[in-house]
């Protein structure tokens, strides 16, 4: 059984790369670094990437773009990393430190990035999400959230399919539902986070494989405390 699961994971890893390559990571890092450049407090920025992932290309590319723009970024990443992952990742990048979520020390940051993490926690666990966002907003001036909107069964099915392809191999739980715009706005009002910038109509995948318009399914919002 384990053998077949491993085979499926390897196949999905290759299939995802064939389908989207690193396009998602490259595009997201451009969006994130533009926002950080526009709203940075100075030439030095500190960033927490919460749920940075087991292939943390988005934050690595973001860091490279910031560096190319003469911005010195001190970056902390946290996720469910194993001790082996931590040794490997912490030896790879000079200005990026990786921690396990349980050992993560509360510090202060200019930006917290939460990229495609909230729907994996589970939108239905709204109190857990609320408490996490309250905690993270106490650590940082800005909260940058990339996540998904669903509009009905079809968009939900596409998002679940993409999440399965992208995350099953890393044992990340596959969401059942996604945010809708009204729900998200209500939550942010409740926890007193104000939108300072909204990016919508985001295209992350190759049109040849996804001829229908998927742009409405992604959002990137930058929030600040009221």
Ligand X SMILES: C[S@@+](CC[C@H](N)C(=O)[O-])C[C@H]1O[C@@H](n2cnc3c(N)ncnc32)[C@H](O)[C@@H]1O
Instruction: Name the residues that contact ligand X, by CB under 6 A.
Output: 51-54, 58, 79-80, 115-117, 120-121, 167, 172-173
Q: Between 157 and 189, whose beta carbon lies closer to ligand X?
A: 157
Helix or strand holding residue 220 (H, E):
strand 218-225
| Least CB distance to ligand X at residue 195 (A) | 20
| Least CB distance to ligand X at residue 41 (A) | 23
Task: Report the C-alpha gap between 52 and 209 in whole angstroms.
Answer: 26
Q: Between 194 and 206, whose beta carbon lies closer to ligand X?
A: 206
Order of strands across the sheet that contains 109-115: 96-100, 72-79, 44-50, 109-115, 140-148, 218-225, 193-199
Q: Between 120 and 224, whose beta carbon lies closer to ligand X?
A: 120
CB contact burial 84-98 (16+ within 10 A = b; e otherwise) = eebeebeeebeebeb
Q: Between 45 and 123, whose beta carbon lies closer to ligand X?
A: 123
And the tokens for 3?
């053998």
| Least CB distance to ligand X at residue 155 (A) | 17
Residue nearest to ligand X (CB): 53
Question: What secondary structure letter does DSSP report for 193?
Answer: E
| Least CB distance to ligand X at residue 104 (A) | 11
């Amino acid at each position: 059984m384990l053998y077949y699961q491993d085979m499926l994971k390897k196949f999905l890893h290759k299939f995802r790369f064939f389908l989207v390559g690193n396009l998602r990571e490259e595009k997201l890092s451009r969006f994130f670094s533009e926002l950080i450049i526009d709203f940075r407090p100075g030439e030095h920025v500190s960033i927490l990437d919460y749920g940075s992932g087991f292939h943390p290309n988005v934050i690595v590319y973001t860091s490279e773009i910031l560096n190319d723009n003469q911005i010195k970024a001190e970056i902390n990443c946290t996720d469910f990393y194993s001790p082996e992952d931590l040794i490997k990742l912490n030896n790879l990048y000079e200005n990026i430190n990786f921690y396990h979520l349980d050992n993560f020390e509360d510090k202060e940051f200019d930006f917290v990035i939460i990229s495609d993490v909230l729907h994996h926690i589970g939108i239905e666990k709204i109190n857990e999400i609320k408490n996490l966002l309250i905690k993270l907003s106490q650590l940082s001036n800005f909260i940058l959230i990339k996540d998904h909107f669903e509009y009905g069964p079809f968009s939900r099915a596409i998002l679940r399919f993409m999440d399965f392809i992208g995350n099953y191999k890393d044992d990340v739980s596959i969401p059942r539902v996604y945010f809708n715009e009204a729900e998200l706005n209500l939550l942010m009002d409740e926890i007193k986070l104000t939108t300072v910038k909204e990016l919508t109509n985001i295209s992350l995948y190759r049109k040849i494989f996804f001829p229908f318009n998927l742009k409405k399914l992604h959002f990137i919002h930058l929030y600040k405390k009221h």
